[in-house]
């Protein structure tokens, strides 16, 4: 029986490098999303998508059912005043 030598994980290096590069670009990406969200010349759908992306990453994606934990803080409410009316036009 021949023994196999374990190979180093060659995929780990490039993946770690990609994460490092993307992590360095995170502030730029967040700034861009905020710019789009605030830009009133953009379509409301695009602005709302940018806001959703920011909230999803900052607060986590919303779930359909909330767990009934007795010590859990109340859910966060976000109001988009005026945006929905603009979007429905």
d(CA 13, CA 64): 38
d(CA 55, CA 32): 14
Q: Once rounded to an integer, what is the mean pLDDT over residues 37-63? A: 90
Q: Is the pTM higher than 0.85?
A: no
Residue 55 pLDDT greater than 70, yes or no: yes
Q: Provide the pLDDT for residue 38.
A: 95
Count the Cβ atoms, other than its own, within 10 Å of residue 51: 18
Residue 14 pLDDT greater than 60, yes or no: yes
Token pair in block for residue 67: 């767990």
Domain boundaries, the chain: 18-62+76-87
Q: Provide the pLDDT for residue 72.
A: 75
């Amino acid at each position: 029986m021949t023994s196999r030598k374990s190979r180093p994980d060659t995929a780990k290096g490039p993946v770690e490098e990609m994460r490092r590069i993307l992590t360095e670009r995170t502030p730029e990406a967040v700034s861009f999303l905020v710019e789009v969200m605030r830009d009133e010349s953009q379509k409301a759908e695009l602005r709302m998508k940018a806001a959703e992306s920011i909230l999803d990453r900052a607060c986590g994606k919303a779930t359909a059912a909330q767990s009934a934990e007795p010590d859990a803080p109340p859910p966060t409410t976000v109001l988009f005043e005026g945006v929905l009316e603009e979007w429905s036009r």
